Amino acid sequence: PTSDARAGEVRTPLVIGHRGAPAYAPENTLPSIDKAARVGSAWVENDVQRTKDGELVVVHDDSLQRTTDAKQVYPGRAPWKVKDFTAAEIARLDAGSWFSPAYKGTRVPTLDQYMRRVEHNHQSLLLEIKNPELYPGIERQILKVLGNDGWLDRPHLKRLVVQSFSAASVRTVHELKPALTTACLGAPPVSRLKQYARFADLINPSYGSLSKAYVSAVHGVRGPHGRPLGVYAWTVDDKATALKVAGYGVDGIISSEADVVRAALRGR
Ligand code: G3P
Ligand code: CA
């Protein structure tokens, strides 16, 4: 996953649909990645966590409260942590009505269901391991699901990046599957980039912590596969910011308004 830059050319960053297409459909659901595909997002981003009985599910918050009707369905079980509910209990929840009545009955997808839909849509995935400290061993488990669904075979590997805010989790993924492309979320100090480059191919900072000098410094270090480290900025949802970070030379932009960002970049 690289931008289509050649030496001397202006870089056109890859644009990745943050949680699918959350401006149009409920985040991290199957309708959200379908919609992302329809607005031209060949790449989508998601968040993976684990249920009480060990199922991997796609949901952003560590609580089900914001993006499902868990509070109504299970009133006595505050604070509705993902890790305290079984997969069967979560499968009963409505993960669409909070967004719009048009999405009533949308479910929290399992990772397996999600990967099958990404494949069906011919999309690529930036998979975030969310809160790995809550889920010991989740890295190996995610790789098992990805492997079962064919995502660790050579052609598919180009369509997958695994990222986390936890550098330890990213390092574990790299050690378990060295061929996989990995990314650390955040902006480590330049002095520590070489340490990250042992296990991460990309450094993915919030756009607010970016500068042209930082992007150049990251590009100046080679990652575990011998290529210069890449930079994907998040979460860039407006034209001005998109143009600014593209001018810094980022390789990717993670956006909740991916169609807006793509249009902005086309109009440069
Ligand atoms: O992909 C980067 C971005 O998703 C990290 O923040 O909170 O939206 O997962 P968050
Ligand atoms: Ca995320």
pTM of the model: 0.96
Average of per-residue pLDDT values in the chain: 96
149-200 pLDDT, tens digit per residue, is 999 999 999 999 999 999 999 999 999 999 999 999 999 999 999 999 999 9
Has domain 14-62+109-266 been given CATH number 3.20.20.190? yes
Please give the structure tokens belonging to residue 16. 């990745």
- Cα 183 to ligand 1 centroid, rounded to whole Å: 12
Integer Cα distance of 256 and 26 in angstroms:
11
**Substitution candidate for ligand 1 out of 27, 41, 47, 58 with most atoms within 8 A of CB:** 47
- Cα 7 to ligand 2 centroid, rounded to whole Å: 31
ipTM: 0.99
Polymer length in residues for the chain: 268
Q: In ligand 1, which atom is closest to the CA atom of 254?
A: 1
67-116 pLDDT, tens digit per residue, is 999 999 999 999 999 999 999 999 999 999 999 999 999 999 999 999 99
- Cα 74 to ligand 1 centroid, rounded to whole Å: 27
